[in-house]
Structure formats: C-alpha cells, structure tokens
C-alpha cells in the first residue's frame, strides 16, 4: 500500500521537524558529507496535502493582522549588526544577472532600452533613455513582493485581492491603476540588510551544475551546513546555487521556467522552523516541473502566500560562488534595494554580497 504524504510527513510538519529527503546520491559525496545511510526522498504530495501544509506552517497573523512585510520582521537591528560584522575584506560581489537584450530560449521577453532622440538625432548635451522589462521572468534578477501569489482570492495575511488590487484595462492583458494596495513592494522600501548564506550544492557534490529537474531537499540543506560549517538561522537569506548559469554558458539557454533544478516542496516546514527571512536561487526556486497537480510553483505559493517570505528569483551566483570557495566562507553581508514602486508585485534588484 502506498505510504501517503499525510501519513509519512504530517507529524513532522505539525511538530515543526525538518523533512528529510534523498538530496545526494553518490557514495563518494555521502562519505564526504556524512557516513550514514541516505534517507529515501519524501513523495510528491497531492494538491490537498499541499493545502494541508499551508495551514500547518502559515505565518498569517504572526506579526499582527495589519502586517505586510512577513518574514522581514525577523531581520532585527541585532541581525543587521551581525551581518555587518561579517565584512572582513570589504569585497563586494553582485548576484544579479546582466540583463539580456535578445530573445533567447529562456528570455522570451527581453528588456528594452530606448534612447531619447530629438529631430532624429541623439542628444549632443545629455544621453537619456527609457528601460522597460517584463521582470517576472527567468533572466531578470527580481524580488517578488507578498501580493505576487494569490490563493483562494487572498494574498499573504488574508488581504482580499478583489478589494486590495485594482487596475483598469488599457490594452490586451494589461491595465493601469493602484495595483497592489496591500503587500506591495513598497513595504520593502527601506531595503534589506541581513546575513546571506550561499548554499552551493554542485560544489558539495563535486559537479559543475545540477541537471534540470533535480530536486533539493531539507537533507541537502543540512548536509550543506555540515560541509560549510554555516548553520542557517532566523533572519537569514538563503541563496541556492544549482549552477544554472554555468550550464547555460556551456550548453546554451533552455526554457528554465519549465525545466530547472530547485527546491522540493518538502523543504517548506524546514524554512518555517529555521525562520528563514528570504530565499533565492539562480532559477525559479521551485524544481521544475513540480509534478504536483494544481501547484506548478508550490515553493512560490507557500513562501510568498503562506509564510510571507519574499524571494529573489534568477540570482546569478557564479561569481559569488568562486569568491566564497576561495575564501572558504559562505556567509556574507547581504544588501538588496527594491524600486519603491507603489502597487508593485515586485521589482528588479541587484543583490550584493560583501565579504
């Protein structure tokens, strides 16, 4: 008889115990990380079981009925001071992907630059331009706000989307108006300063990159903690490197929105237990495809809507991975500033790691 998600996992979820999974398969890597038997991966849950998980780990009401910043409440003044104390070399590294101008397999809506011209000529006194981008995509590094994902008509903390989101149609598929009147990116105007933690799974496994569709489990995160000596804790921002951009450089672009290594949904209670403030990866966070009916991006839904945990999609972690490996330090001061756009569901960002 099939062991269901409910029977196998519900007790761990409700108790706040980390869910475990296969994570790494080769004997060599297992011996390197920990000489113990590799647990079997948790099964993919049904839609109903994901909904049950949402109820079990929800942060709705945790910081009050009017809260709009979710897990950013965990980034205290003491946490910011802790992050600042990590700066030793004064070396800063961008974790943003340089914007792609051309249409590619993973970039169907490239960003556009239009230069101001007068009488058919470029200005001779000042260069001015307009930049536009469909930034909720797979090559633009961007931060998702807490109104980005909706479940049963509500965004994080119970705000009704019909009441608190308004836009009047202007053209096919687009509209103008105040947008998200609750849980918008404007709530993060003061920026983010906290401890960032790089989780470099390819490095730990001794490979250049993970293949698309590779799931990352809680056991992988715990194995990384042993490998790196960094324990992930309250208020931290976790950056998962799958090696997506290393693979892209070697093999060329592919539709990463549909095929990508990433987190398995079973990590979500682990994030709740550890009180992680933000997650990021070099792809779309979720392992793709998710293989969960009704939840193509369960990590997005549970992070943004359930935990109130913002995320940064499409971080380019190749350079920071090199620096961290050279220094043998995978924790750093993280600074992120989003555009203070009223009503915005997110913003392009340039996350900076300072060692």
Single out the residue of 44, 45, 24 nearest to residue 36, CA to CA: 24
Q: What is the largest CA-CA distance in the chain?
A: 76
CA distances to 15, 258, 319 from 246, in Å: 38, 18, 10
Q: What is the per-residue pLDDT across 288-328, written as a single tens digit (0 to 9) for each?
A: 999 999 999 999 999 999 999 999 999 999 999 999 999 99
Q: Which residues contact 273 (CB under 8 A, 6 or more apart)?
A: 16, 17, 18
Domain made up of 5-97+141-354: CATH architecture:
3-Layer(bba) Sandwich (3.50)
Residue indicated by tokens 């910043």:
69
Question: What is the rounded distance in angstroms from the CA atom of residue 47 to the CA atom of residue 293?
Answer: 6
Residue ranges of the chain with per-residue pLDDT less than 50: 1-36
- The residue ranges of every structural domain in the chain are 5-97+141-354
How confident is the model at residue 127, as a pLDDT? Answer: 85
Q: Residue 51 burial (CB < 10 Å; 0-12/13-18/19+)?
A: middle
Under a CB-based contact definition with an 8 Å cutoff, are residues 286 and 299 in contact?
yes
How confident is the model at residue 23, as a pLDDT? Answer: 36
How confident is the model at residue 42, as a pLDDT? Answer: 81
How confident is the model at residue 52, as a pLDDT? Answer: 97
How confident is the model at residue 345, as a pLDDT? Answer: 96
Under a CB-based contact definition with an 8 Å cutoff, are residues 308 and 70 in contact?
yes
């Amino acid at each position: 008889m099939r062991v269901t998600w409910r029977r196998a996992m519900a007790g761990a979820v409700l108790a706040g115990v980390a869910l475990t999974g296969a994570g790494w398969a080769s004997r060599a890597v297992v011996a390197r990380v920990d000489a113990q038997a590799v647990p079997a991966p948790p099964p993919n849950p049904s839609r109903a079981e994901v909904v049950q998980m949402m109820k079990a780990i929800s942060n709705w009401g945790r910081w009050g009925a009017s809260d709009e910043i979710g897990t950013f409440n965990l980034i205290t003044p003491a946490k910011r001071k802790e992050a600042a104390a990590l700066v030793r070399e004064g070396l800063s590294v961008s974790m943003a992907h340089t914007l792609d101008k051309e249409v590619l397999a993973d970039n169907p809506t490239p960003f556009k630059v239009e230069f101001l011209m007068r009488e058919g000529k470029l200005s001779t006194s000042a260069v001015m331009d307009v930049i536009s981008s469909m930034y909720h995509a797979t090559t633009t590094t961007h931060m998702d706000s807490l109104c980005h994902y909706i479940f049963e008509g509500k965004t994080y903390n119970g705000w009704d989307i019909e009441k608190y989101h308004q836009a009047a149609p202007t053209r096919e598929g687009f509209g103008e108006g105040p947008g998200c009147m609750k849980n918008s990116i404007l709530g993060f105007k003061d920026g983010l300063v906290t401890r960032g933690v790089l989780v470099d799974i390819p490095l730990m496994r001794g490979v250049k990159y993970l293949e698309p569709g590779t799931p990352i489990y809680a056991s992988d995160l715990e194995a990384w903690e042993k490998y790196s000596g960094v324990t992930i804790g309250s208020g931290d921002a976790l950056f998962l490197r799958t090696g997506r951009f290393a693979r892209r450089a070697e093999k060329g672009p592919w539709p990463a929105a549909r095929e990508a290594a990433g987190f398995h949904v079973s990590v979500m209670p682990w994030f709740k237990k550890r009180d992680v403030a933000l997650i990021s990866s070099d792809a779309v966070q979720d392992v793709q495809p998710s293989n969960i009916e009704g939840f193509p991006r369960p990590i997005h839904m549970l992070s943004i809507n359930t935990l109130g945990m913002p995320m940064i999609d499409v971080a380019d972690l190749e350079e920071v991975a090199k620096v961290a490996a050279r220094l043998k330090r995978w924790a750093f001061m993280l600074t992120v500033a989003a555009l203070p756009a009223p009503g915005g569901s997110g913003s392009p960002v340039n996350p900076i790691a300072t060692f």
